[in-house]
Amino acid sequence: MPPRLAHRKSRTGCRRCKERKVKCTEERPSCAACARHGVDCEYIENSSLTVNKAASVSHQPQAGRSPSKKPSPAQVREQPAAASSSSRSLSEHEATVSPPSGLDVPYSRNLSGVIPDDLRSQIELYLIHRFKSSVSQSFPSAQTPHLKDIYVWHATEAAFDHPYLLNAIFAVTALYLCMCQLHKLHENHAVQLPKALQHVDFAQVHRTYLNIAVSQERDELSSLGPHNADAVGLTSILLSIMSTCLLSDAPVAHGAEYSPPMQWLTLSAAVQTVFQEAVPYLHEGAMMSYMRASREPNLTDTDTLFHPNNTVPFHSILEFEDPDSPYADQPETKAADGEAYHSALAMIGSIFNAIRAGEPKHYLCMRVMAFGPIVPKSYVTLLAQKRARAMVILAYFMVLVKYLDSYWWFQGRAEKEILGIRSALPDRWQWALRWPLAVLANPEYAKSDPATYYRDISLVQNHAGVHTMGPVYSNGNTPSSSSSHSPYSAARNS
């Protein structure tokens, strides 16, 4: 866990912020942190201001566990009468500022404090309607003839027999509506909410249903078999889409320390594991059709995904050495670290090659979404340590995200991460962000050769007294980046 910035201790903060040892804004009835995570906010010194305190105390320690009897979709609610009227009324201001991401642990299953009881049926009906009419049509699978109906029909029908799939549908649709509120999406994603729902905080709705879906699917794995493999697989795909929005929430613009998006990578890996566990039980049905039609792009050909030539445009990133790094004197780990960096950049390079080869964007989207599940865990560990090279590599991945931000779940993510990384990188590494920053200004620069941005890097290194492990492009020559010579194109043309 990276160290937190020092802050003034709060003596009157809420119970949750005190337990987490973070600064509390002390707002009533819910502080900013609790509102952001969609959880109950309890103030020890004045129980009358707590939101559903009795239910929170009695249920939260076991909130991550499903009851022994599996609930029906209509039964996944808790004590609506116990919620205060203030917690059930969501202001327009809250709906505007609440961020969309964040899983709460233990998993919060309290819908009564998020959705007014008299609006719940309307909200869930609207979420199903919007999922079928808008959200499912935005998925990459909608561009594939054999898959375009998999979520419009197959998933929604299966959801009524599998509550975790239904709650995942609610969660992803609420996230879609939240993103539409936060970002001015293009006309295809324009959403005019019904008047009755215009003040609903869909960010909190998303988080609550997401927590329920994750908890329920986890419990379902104990009885995984042919009867539920399709639903588990479909749920996992929805969770993988939502995981891309679980990026860092640190308000870097206000001086907070940048934290890498570890929750996204962790959830992505977990979703991939669940999906793989479901595959052996698949029968002829929606998921089997998905598996057949998903052979393009080929994300199982590790020889192509991690081909050494994929890293050629990024040699400067691999070769740069900073003697002031706290890890510079650890040669016993250098080989293993280098392999992790090389593998992560190779996968990024495979997507970069696909972009330059003109691959359709829905294929590129599938590649980008596969990064989290496929990237080596050793790289994730280095990123968690906030190693400079690891953060630069993440910025390069965000270049690909920026190129594809016409997909609503990518909106604003590249800007947040790249600018956050810039705030955290040592001065000697700032040169490495030239390409990502250029792509933020013009996404078409994602097709340009990154090496051309670093032709003078040897001068920067020499001026700083820094050495490299190999040659750098100081003579104006850059490695061949023609798409016709990339391993990706060779595989396509063979």
pLDDT of 458 above 60: no
d(CA 111, CA 250): 26
Asked if pLDDT for residue 2 goes beyond 70, the answer is: no
Host H or E run for residue 306? none
Instruction: Give, as one character, the DSSP assignment of residue 425.
Output: S
SS3 call for 33: helix
Query: Is 10 buried (19+), middle (13-18) or exposed (0-12) by CB count in 10 A?
Result: middle
Give residues with Cβ within 8 angstroms of 304, minimum separation 6.
298, 350, 487, 488, 491
d(CA 35, CA 400): 31
pTM, two decimal places? 0.69
Tokens of 220: 């379902």
- Is 39 strand, coil or helix? coil
Residue 153 φ then ψ, to 5°: -115, -55
Q: Which amino acid is at 456?
A: D
Q: Residue with structure tokens 């709650």?
A: 167
pLDDT score of 109: 65
Lowest model confidence (mean pLDDT) among 154-168, 283-297, 403-417: 283-297
291 pLDDT band, cuts 50/70/90, is low
Residue 294, Cα to own-chain centre: how many angstroms?
21
- Contacts of residue 68, defined as CB under 8 A and 6 or more positions apart, other chains included, come to none
Cα–Cα distance between 22 and 18 in angstroms, integer?
A: 7
3-state secondary structure of 3: coil
What's the mean pLDDT in 78-83?
A: 35
Residues 221-241 pLDDT 10s = 889 998 988 899 899 889 988
Give the dihedral sign, CA 423/424/428/433. Answer: negative
Q: What is the helix (H) or strand (E) element at residue 248, kind and residue range?
A: none
